[in-house]
Amino acid sequence: MGMVGGGIGSFIGAIHRNAAFLDNCIELVCGSFSSDYQNSIQTGKNLFLDSSRIYKTYDEMIDKEYNLDSSKRMDIVSIVTPNHIHFDPAYKALDNGFPVIIDKPMTYDSEQAKNLVDKVNETGIPFAVTHTYTGYPMVKEAKSIIKSGKIGKIRKVAVEYPQGWLTTNLESTDNKQASWRTDPGKSGKAGSMGDIGTHAANMVEYVTGKKIIKLLSKVNVFVEGRLLEDDGNVLITLEDGIEGNLMTSQIATGEENDLKIRVWGDSGGIEWKHSSPNTLLLKLNGRPNQIYRAGVNNSYLSDFALANCRTPSGHPEGFIEAFANIYRNFSYSVQNYKNNKKDDPIYDYPTVEEGYRGMRFIDAVIYSSKNSKWIKI
């Protein structure tokens, strides 16, 4: 694996690397970790890379790796930069035959996203987007339960993603994470809706198996001087007449990272929240609530969930493991691509299509809020 971004001072770069390494399917062999070459050099040294494979730019990395012998060159490219530096290295990697795994949102704008979709469709090269929360075993169990019909015909869905870390004007300090996420030139047209709203929308579509077809939104800027929205509420309509609501906020004071989804059918409902990721509640009409727990020894779980568990119940798995499931499953897909084999759907991961859906969601939310009208996606 070669990495673009993720140098010293990055939050998400180390998360990606830890996830990639967990199952011994992926090895980091090169990188261009920062626009600051000295930062990149030191990062590479800290990761024990060959100095000849610590590159000044991602262009240099892609060009030089492409010309190495196939037994030595990188097999995939991981892109963990701010949003405005997603498209160019991703497109160049695909253009040179390298599979790509990229952080969300997939691109700076939806036009770039559509170009990546077209390139992937043209080449057939594997492409993953790290919508991390779909990697949790109990999210996969929720998807399996809903698909089985156990809660009946879906009627309503509610998803919320409150954070409190941007309650103050943190971007005016030296906090790099806040700085680029609130900068339209780097983040794109959305703030919280791009950063965490895309996760919430992806979660709804993943768990239900139904697409959001229209929405009505109201986004807000609560912190004075902030250039992008930091809070919002969205009414959503999904396929098959499913209604729902989606809330994101990064000014929910005191909150950490409590993504939560509830889905109700005409026979029951499910509930999962990120603060208790190894637990899934199943609520069937007229019966006591059932508590499902993650664990390789819990034979009542679906094969779908079990394939993404690593430890027995009571040995908690968390964010890194969920992230690692995406990297592991993507690595299987890359091997299948090389060997001209079909992917096993039990080892799924978010693709370029989900990334494009996220960008269209952002467009619709911002336009709807500005014009106070329902927008089709």
Percentage of the chain exceeding pLDDT 90: 100
pLDDT the model gives residue 300 = 98
Taking alpha carbons only, the member of 257, 312, 235 closest to residue 133 is 257
Buried b (16+ CB within 10 A) or exposed e, 182-216: bbeeebbbbbbbbbbbbbbbbbbbbbbebebeebb
Q: For residue 201, which amino acid is it? A: A
Angle at alpha carbon of residue 233, lines to 232 and 238, rounded to 5°? 130
**What would the pLDDT profile of 317-357 be if each residue is shown by its tens digit?**
999 999 999 999 999 999 999 999 999 999 999 999 999 99
Mean pLDDT calculated for residue range 84-101:
98
**What would the pLDDT profile of 97-126 be if each residue is shown by its tens digit?**
999 999 999 999 999 999 999 999 999 999
pLDDT the model gives residue 83 = 97
In this structure, are residues 192 and 232 in contact, taking their beta carbons and an 8 Å threshold? yes
**What would the pLDDT profile of 200-230 be if each residue is shown by its tens digit?**
999 999 999 999 999 999 999 999 999 999 9
Taking alpha carbons only, the member of 158, 186, 189, 237 closest to residue 81 is 186
Mean pLDDT calculated for residue range 43-55:
98
Q: For residue 149, which amino acid is it? A: G
- In Å, what is the CA distance from 293 to each residue of 159, 278, 289? 21, 6, 13
Domains and CATH numbers, the chain: 2-125 (3.40.50.720), 137-311+354-371 (3.30.360.10)
Helix (H) or strand (E) holding 95: helix 87-95
pLDDT the model gives residue 330 = 98
In this structure, are residues 94 and 125 in contact, taking their beta carbons and an 8 Å threshold? yes
Q: Helix/strand/coil (H, E, C) string of 277-342? A: CCEEEEEECCCCCEEEECCCCCCCCCHHHHCCCCCCCCCCCCHHHHHHHHHHHHHHHHHHHHCCCC
How many secondary structure helices (H) and strands (E) does the chain include? 13, 14
Residue 234 confidence class, pLDDT cut points 50, 70, 90: very high
Q: Could you give the maximum distance between any two Cα atoms of the chain, in Å?
A: 65
Helix (H) or strand (E) holding 216: strand 212-220
Q: If phi over 0 gives left and psi between -120 and 50 gives alpha, with beta otherwise, what is residue 83?
A: alpha
Neighbours of 28 (CB within 10 A): 20
DSSP 247-283: EEES--TT-----EEEEEESSEEEEEETTSTTEEEEE
CA distance 167 to 12: 21
Mean pLDDT calculated for residue range 298-306:
98
In this structure, are residues 231 and 192 in contact, taking their beta carbons and an 8 Å threshold? yes
**What would the pLDDT profile of 264-286 be if each residue is shown by its tens digit?**
999 999 999 999 999 999 999 99
Percentage of the chain exceeding pLDDT 70: 100
CA distance 130 to 43: 22
CA distance 244 to 21: 37
Which runs of consecutive H residues, i.e. helices, occur in 124-270? 137-148, 176-181, 184-187, 192, 198-208
| Mean per-residue pLDDT of the chain | 97
Taking alpha carbons only, the member of 195, 198, 159 closest to residue 179 is 195
pTM above 0.85?
Answer: yes
